[in-house]
């Protein structure tokens, strides 16, 4: 059952009762056509992979080119890979539908760092979490600039939707907030993302809840209501901590900015791997909100027992990642 708790201009979901949420399907692994070293930083070489649309796929909709989807992998800032096998099925779905996918490396700022239990431990580690988020933002901006400076890569830098899972979703949302707040150092002049798709993400800060000085690009949020790794609402102390999807959606709503949030009722951090599962929603978002520019505000509570769960992530807590 899918219930829409509040909405306006919900033109893309008029047939909500018949919407089928696709389960994870096995499919042949898609292969990157090219890989580029986009930056060298802190003795590391950072690469991006480009996955081209399938032969014969429609790359234009209503006379407008479909955007490239830049994917930022998850892993708690301690692990993960742009070649994550769990994301390849989703890449295949995107390329089959005419989208270019760009999967990027970024520096893992929490690698080798321990986090104590509970609020106290997380609070002590907050500065390092915040640094990790900022490092990821810097690396995403470098990847965008690389594409802008190298047109031979064939990925128009002015037509990018950023998307991330878990830590990658945190980085993606922080990138969008930075652009909305005019913090664009390292980006091409006048750059803006065309959209953002966040799977179990949030924004880390120590100066209060995130705000947006101007309207951000179209925002699509997915989050489990019982997520104990990336807070669904807020985890922290006073003005410090991480503000999750529910809080971000509330902020956007109060500021009058269009956004969509899909609250997966009773689920934990397994929603971080829902890229392929929620394809029907993403496709509508990309086609209507991003490409055609149709404004939409959705607040959906999804209660669907058939949605997949992964035991390792359903009940996992933040401290479990940093033992």
Domain ranges across the chain: 2-322
Hey, how many other C-beta atoms are within 10 angstroms of the C-beta on 165?
30
- Which pLDDT belongs to residue 203? 98
Residue 152, class by beta-carbon neighbours within 10 Å (0-12 exposed, 13-18 middle, 19+ buried)?
Answer: exposed
Pair 286, 67: CB distance under 8 Å: yes
Those residues with Cβ within 8 angstroms of residue 227's Cβ, 6 or more apart along the chain or in another chain? 200, 244, 267, 268, 269, 271
The average pLDDT across 188-207 equals 97
- Which pLDDT belongs to residue 94? 98
To the question of pTM greater than 0.85 for the whole model, the response is yes
CATH topology for the 2-322 domain? Rossmann fold (3.40.50)
Sign of torsion over alpha carbons 263, 4, 24, 30: negative
- Is the model more confident about 101 or about 237? 101
Token pair 């934990």 is at which residue?
Answer: 268
pLDDT, tens digit (0-9, with 9 covering 90-100), for 167-196: 999 999 999 999 999 999 999 999 999 999
- Which pLDDT belongs to residue 319? 63
Q: Is the pLDDT of residue 72 over 60?
A: yes
The number of angstroms, rounded, from the C-alpha of 191 to the middle of its chain's C-alpha atoms is 18
């Amino acid at each position: 059952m899918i219930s829409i708790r509040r909405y306006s201009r919900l033109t893309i979901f008029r047939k909500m009762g018949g919407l089928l949420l696709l389960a994870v399907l096995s499919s042949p692994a898609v292969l990157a056509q090219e890989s580029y070293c986009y930056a060298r930083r802190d003795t590391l070489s950072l690469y991006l992979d480009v996955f081209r649309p399938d032969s014969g796929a429609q790359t234009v909709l209503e006379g407008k080119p479909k955007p490239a989807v830049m994917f930022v992998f998850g892993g708690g800032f301690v692990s993960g890979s742009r070649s994550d096998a769990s994301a390849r099925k989703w890449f295949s779905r995107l390329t089959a539908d005419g989208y270019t996918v760009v999967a990027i490396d970024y520096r893992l700022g929490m690698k080798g760092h321990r986090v104590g239990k509970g609020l106290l431990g997380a609070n002590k580690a907050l500065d390092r979490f915040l640094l990790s988020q900022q490092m990821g933002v810097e690396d995403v901006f470098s990847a965008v600039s690389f594409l802008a400076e190298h047109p031979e890569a064939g990925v128009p830098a002015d037509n990018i939707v950023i998307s991330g899972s878990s830590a990658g979703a945190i980085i993606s949302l922080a990138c969008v907030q930075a652009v909305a707040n005019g913090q664009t150092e390292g980006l091409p002049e006048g750059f803006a993302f065309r959209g953002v798709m966040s799977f179990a993400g949030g924004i880390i800060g120590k100066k209060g809840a995130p705000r947006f000085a101007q309207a951000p690009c179209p925002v699509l949020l997915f989050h489990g209501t019982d997520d104990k790794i990336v807070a669904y609402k807020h985890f922290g102390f006073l003005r410090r901590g991480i503000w999750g999807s529910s809080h971000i959606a509330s902020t956007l709503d109060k500021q009058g900015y269009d956004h969509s949030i899909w609250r997966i009722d009773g689920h934990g951090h397994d929603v971080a791997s829902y890229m392929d599962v929620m394809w029907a929603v993403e496709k509508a978002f990309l086609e209507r909100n991003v490409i055609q520019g149709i404004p939409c505000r959705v607040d959906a509570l999804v209660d669907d027992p058939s949605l997949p769960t992964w035991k390792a992530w359903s009940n996992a807590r933040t401290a479990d990642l940093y033992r």
